[in-house]
A and B are shown apart, each in its own frame.
Chain A
Amino acid sequence: MTSSETAVSLTAVRKTYRVGEPVHALDGVSLDIRRGSYTAIMGPSGSGKSTLMNLVGCLDTPTEGEVVVGGREVGSLDDRERTSLRGTEVGFVFQTFNLMPRLNALENVALPQLFQGVDRETRRDRAGELLERVGLGDRLDHMPNELSGGQRQRVALARALVNDPAIVLADEPSGNLDTDTEADILDLFAEFHDAGTTMVVVTHERHVAERADRIVHLLDGQIERIERLDRSGGSETTAIDRDGATGGSERG
């Protein structure tokens, strides 16, 4: 990972699924995500949100174009290297929390470091510290089924942060939470963002997206527009961003 300003950059990315007729899930998307930024990705079902997330999360490789995560081009890596990159540079937060059911909170948070070969002592210290920060310092050895939805999502957030990734990818992070808990989690996201974490939140709910610096609107596999938000003012200011720093959409 380089010390460049860009955490993730997509250049003319196209992802084609061949199920009978070729379907372009992403059709020429270029997007830069700067370090320390907070980006929301919105769009209706089938707009390519999930595909974009899989590409940014190094779970998938593009059919065409280039995806650079943490300074490395994902398409050129083999499976092992891609997994390794994913482990260190990407943190996932899922709608369904996706905690390991037979591991307690601490072990769940420590799991990504386990796969990086970090020793047990260091892992436990780091996981404990993060759980403290998300407000679960007293629930370290609780099993996931002993935790509420909001608490589980906090554990998941702590897990996403444990390897100090270039980017935290949250897929509908509040989709399974009630309004109050949702607000708590989103506050926590904002807190970590303020502390320097690069956040990308995929959502179809406007009020969740509005916590971000900007909203990328996807439609039919292309970037329809990028909406910049004045964080102090609210959501009124909109603009289709064409600045070099954040990139834009291309048709083709």
Chain B
Amino acid sequence: MNPIESLRLSWRSIRGHKLRSSLTTLGVVIGIAAVIAFVTLGASLQAGVVGDISPDDQRNVYGWAAEPDTDGGPLAGAQPVFSQDDLDAVEESDDVEAAYGYMPLSTQALFYQGELSPQSDALVAAGPPYIRADSLDEGRQFEMGEREAVINPAVANQFEENISVGDELTIVLQGGQRTDVTVVGITDSSEGLSPFEGFQPSPRVYVPTDPYYTEEAGGMLPGPGGEEGPDDGGSGLPGFGDEDGTDDAIDDDTDAIETDNDTGAIETDNDTGAIETDDTDTIDADTNGDAIDADNDTDAIDADDALFLAIVVEAESADDADVDRARESAATYLESEESDAGVLMDDAGLEVTLQTSAELLQQLQDVLDLLQNFIVGIAAISLLVGSIGIANIMLVSVTERTREIGIMKAVGAQNRAVLGLFLAEAVILGVIGAILGTALGLVAGYLGAWYIDLPLVYPYEYVALAIVVGILVGILSGLYPAWRAARTDPIDALRYE
């Protein structure tokens, strides 16, 4: 019998039981929808994240210190331990092109031409190489020691009159202090420049650590980074994991503050606990006297005491071997007793993590994959339940239509034709479930991606896969009932009441 005729006839019986058929397909709909929604979200997330690694970024190794086994993304549980001396020492290595501190700073608002725009966490203090040439739309990098800033388009377009290169911008810091910057560059994208910032587009002003962070840490401004830093780290994970990260971050927050006081980033000079820090200073001074002297010259306040939340080490090239050498060199130094970080981490029981953005993304990807596998697992169970539902309804249907089967066989229907009819019915149910599930899943996935502001990615291959799965579910669940229908004895079937 012609397959199209089978489908036509099967479609009749499905339409004959609209409610029953709809409920039967629901299991498949939910299963497929779950898979498609999460695959869409996952693909969009991946595109949003992977789209952020520029070739230059691949030279960078991102480091921060946290308690061992801290879960979460970049900066999770990070505490400020890296001193300017450490950064200078790391940069001296032949394997390292540049090393600079990274410090997110809390803000209250941005001020431009009399217009105020409330912004928290808008300020990122880093070294000039942090602004990569290929990420600049116009202007240039800021220079260390200058009151200059590079802003991203989200900041530039925030105000009635767009900010352009050369303009003055006033930043209101967490404590209420105001500081002026000259905009020297504008980046081409509002997404984060490194994994530290997270991947969501948000307004950011990039400034040199000196003077902006050193001033703040030097005591002119109230204690900053330690408090806000870990939170920022948490937000580095888009969407999920945020909860985890934040929980950890809150725990670590108190630690961070304590550490701050213990080690004396701010009150070192007056505190008794400062002895340790002073000691390390002295040690450093022995080994690296020049650098410290230079620092002391530029700033009357103890700029050396500014501890950075994170370190960015730029390798000679994006070559894996070069990156590994840079990482090795930085790790060796930072873990040794020679470095301020090494001593501080020893005291607080911290470990330094040095990773490239690809590796950090891989971690994220691993979490993502795990989550996706988990959801797909649940969806698979739902599909299994859906299949059982179809099988069950088909069995009921076969029993119910025993007489019809008898009639068909009496008028010359081969076993194969009867098998085909019932199989077609199950497959139609499976495919309808798959189509509805795919539509529902795509809508849910896109809504989700839109909600967390990710680029929309269309996982076409999964749509095709979903239809195939629908057909398979139909065949698998329809096979036994159809086989039973096919082997029904026409004599018994015709007598069946």
Contacts and interface: CB of A to CB of B under 8 A. Distances in A.
Are A and B associated in one complex? Answer: yes
A100 B491 contact: no
B1 A115 contact: yes
A87 B404 contact: no
Contact of A102 (B13, B413, B490, B491): B13
A88 B410 CA distance: 11
B327 interface: no
B412 A117 contact: no
Contacts of A98: 403, 406-407, 410, 494
Nearest to B414: A83
B411 A88 contact: no
A244 interface: no
Interface in B384-410: 403-404, 406-410
B170 interface: no
A69 B122 CA distance: 93
Contact of B12 (A60, A99, A102): A102
Contacts of B491: 54, 59-60
A120 B1 CA distance: 12
Interface string B357-400: 00000000000000000000000000000000000000000000
Nearest to B416: A80
Most chain B beta carbons < 10 A, residue from A87, A100, A111, A120: A100
A229 B304 CA distance: 127
B16 interface: yes
Interface string A117-128: 100100000000
A101 to B, nearest CB: 7
Interface residues of A, number: 28
Nearest to B12: A102
A43 interface: no
Interface string B4-47: 01000100110010000000000000000000000000000000
Contact of A86 (B2, B5, B412, B415): B412
A245 interface: no
Contact of A116 (B13, B404, B412): B412
B417 interface: yes
Contacts of A189: none
A250 interface: no
Given A59-B491, A98-B494, A102-B12, A79 B1 contact: no
Contacts of B12: 102-103
Contacts of B409: 83
A57 B412 contact: no
B403 A117 contact: no
Contacts of A86: 410-412
Nearest to B415: A79
B412 A159 contact: no
A99 B411 CA distance: 11
A62 to B, nearest CB: 14
Given A102-B12, A115-B1, A117-B2, A94 B494 contact: yes
A84 B414 contact: yes
Given A60-B491, A98-B403, A115 B408 contact: yes
A116 B12 CA distance: 20
Interface string A33-66: 0000000000000000000001001011000000
The 5 A-B residue pairs whose C-beta atoms are closest, nearest first, are A87-B412, A112-B411, A115-B412, A115-B413, A98-B407
Given A88-B412, A103-B12, A159-B411, 6 more contacts: A59-B490, A83-B415, A86-B412, A87-B413, A102-B13, A114-B1
Interface of B: 1-2, 5, 9, 12-13, 16, 403-404, 406-415, 417, 490-491, 494
25 contacts: A59-B490, A59-B491, A60-B491, A80-B415, A83-B413, A83-B414, A83-B415, A84-B412, A86-B410, A86-B411, A86-B412, A92-B410, A94-B494, A98-B407, A102-B12, A102-B13, A103-B12, A111-B407, A111-B408, A114-B5, A114-B9, A115-B408, A115-B412, A117-B2, A159-B411
